Amino acid sequence: MDYYWKSTDLAQYTSPRNSNFLFFKNNNKLEFGVQIKSEEDGINYYRNQTYTSTGAFYHTFDKDYDYHTTKWTLYFSLGWNFLKRLDTTFGLRGDYSSTHKVFHFSPRLSGSFHLNHNLSITGGYGVFYQTIPMRFMAFFPRHIALKDIHATHYALGIEYIDGNTKLTLEAFEKRYKNLLIDLDNPLYLANELAIDTYYYPDSLTNAGRGFARGIELLIHKKLVKHLHGLTNVTISTSRYKDLNGIWRNSGFKTPYIINFLAGYKPNTLWEFGIRWTAMGGRPRTPFDEDLSRLHGRIYYDFSRFNEMSYPAYSKLNLRAERRYNFKKSNLVLYLDIWNALNNEVIYEYEWDSSAQDVVGRTHLPLMPIFGLKFEF
């Protein structure tokens, strides 16, 4: 049963914020404040009539959905140094939403114990809440009864600093509960689909659970003799449990991410930069080739949901910048070249009716961008 539909989705935010700082001796610091956020989402939804194989059809209809909420946030963070070896930061955040009328307390704690002048052990813990996507509540007000997504973060690592070079190695784990799963599509995480698709699930549950864990290496070289650079390597996994009790790969699981950034600044007028990124392919569901060719469109093999991966890829971006300094202003001209090697980046597969086959759809081709900034 197929249908054609389209929608417009307009979200608006207003968010005043007040922050206050108190500084004490030995670099101790207290920060506290309040933030108020007004959120509005308006959706116009249109579906055209379409015939099914039995001759029945849906009628055209046009509906408007509106959603509004106000959120209040109170927060404070205390950074304190103990015995010159232990730096700690304790924070507490409180969130209240006029929609759910529930007050969430989110404690956060991080610390760094200095073994010597160069080497430290670091750690962190935090609780975070995320409200469900506004469009879900705008489209189906009954979703207001759902709980906010809950995450607990843990991190443990080492940090080494020598002059202008900083190296950190950290292991992390994030545990999730109250994840949204569509009762009509029990394999999917609804909160993932909501990020980049117009997706309006009818029946949702908070039964989802999940985790993400991995290790991250960071090497940072500050500006020395006109050069600076940064290298970051992350190896991770991310999975969730569906309504059938099966652990599946998250749609945003990336086996590895490698970033290399470097800059060269010969003087105050010129600057050159390079960024190279390599990523493992995110999960995808394989398709049934025989059924796809038989019916002339993609049929997925949901018995292997998210068990295959898109191809890994790498991108090289280049940048050149020239500054013109005036008495009270500056003019900056720049040239960016995205994906300078024009590497293929496949982000989804689609049916090619002329080839009668599934082909990859690519994006982010080689793209030169010229621009200017005026600073005053």
What is the rounded CA–CA span in Å between residue 136 and residue 142?
9
pLDDT, one tens digit per residue, over 234-260 is: 999 999 998 888 999 998 899 999 999
Q: Is the pLDDT of residue 3 over 50?
A: no
Give the model's pLDDT for residue 184. Answer: 85
**Which of 43-52, 146-155, 283-292, 343-352 is the most confident on average?**
146-155
Q: Is the pLDDT of residue 223 over 80?
A: no
Contact call for residues 232 and 218 (beta carbons, < 8 A):
yes
**CB atoms closer than 10 angstroms to residue 201:** 21
Give me the chain's average pLDDT, please.
87
Q: Look up the pTM and report it.
A: 0.82
For the chain, give the number of residues.
376
Looking at per-residue pLDDT, the higher value among 39 and 95 belongs to 95
Q: Is residue 354 predicted with pLDDT exceeding 70?
A: yes
Residue-wise pLDDT for 52-104, tens only, equals 444 444 444 556 667 788 899 999 999 998 878 899 999 999 999 888 788 89
CATH for 17-43+63-375, among 3.50.50.60, 3.40.630.40, 3.40.50.300, 2.40.170.20?
Answer: 2.40.170.20
pLDDT score at 47: 56
Over residues 317-330, the pLDDT tens digits come to 999 999 999 888 99
pLDDT above 50 for 1:
no
Domain ranges across the chain? 17-43+63-375
pLDDT for residue 188:
82
